Structure 1
Amino acid sequence: MATATASAKWPDVGEVPQWLKNWLDDFYALADTQGDEASRKFAAHFAEDGVQYGLGGPLRGREAIVQARAPGWKPMDWRKHEVLQIFTARRDYSDVLVQGRITAVFKNKQEVSGEFAVQIVFDDVSAPEPKAVLYKNWSISVNLIINRRQKLPC
């Protein structure tokens, strides 16, 4: 199975750190996996007090992130994130912008696909496994928002 960053365009700013490639691939693989174990591993990519902004507003801390994942999966059977391009605001890649595409199949068997953009800010990037202190989703397909608001059979 291809990783989330398999076809991504990377910045031409210094050498892209391997930890970032690994973080994005693992993060999006877990984002696309249902279940409590995947939710806990997903949340472990954040600092203890990290903040994730999404369709439901801000989630503060790992436990809030874990708790929000199960309801988010209720209308969906499947989803896949693909990273299209990464930009960096800092040479150390501690503040990046990711453009990507998400495809989801809902319980009503409707498949939708749309683009997303997120900013990810990391804590100590010299650590063996940097953690996200901020994951801010600025855009997501209108089709996904509409499907989330519909009364879909679960």
Structure 2
Amino acid sequence: MLTDSVNPSLSKSIQQLCVRSQNVGYIKIGLTRKPNVHDTKSVIRFIYRFFWYLFSRIKLKSHIFPKALERSEALVTGRYHAVAYAILLKKKFLAIESNTPKITFLLNDVGFDNSRIIEIKEDAKELPFIPDFTKEEIEKLDNFLIMAKKCRENLEKDLLAVVYKNSAYV
């Protein structure tokens, strides 16, 4: 499965690559084009796409994207949250670094090197090979997910303590 990137020209290249490749799904996650404020039709299209984006974003986060990712064999994406889902689901992936280093930082937090970050050129003719996780990567994924779960549980406890401390009902 392929997703878009925050870089509009790269998103277009990824989409064209998906069209050239057989049996590859494509999901657009973001809104990449800003309107020409001097063209009324452009502004109307932007507003329509913006509201569609908000609606689809809610659906993607709640059930569509994770289910599509579960059914897919692998993921190539330029989106941070898509990489996060791939890590959570232990789905093999390649990431395309975007306009910020968030993806690199996430992979470093997991303990991965940058070998899962690729560059897709605008004239790419075929999908890159997506390797399975090595035993070492699987171990790092498992350790990261255990640590993340503990951090989430501690955060929940801390938040509940603050709520109870400041509650008028205590």
Q: TM-score under structure 2 normalisation?
A: 0.24
* Structure exhibiting the larger radius of gyration computed from Cα positions: 2
Structure ranking higher in strand proportion: 1
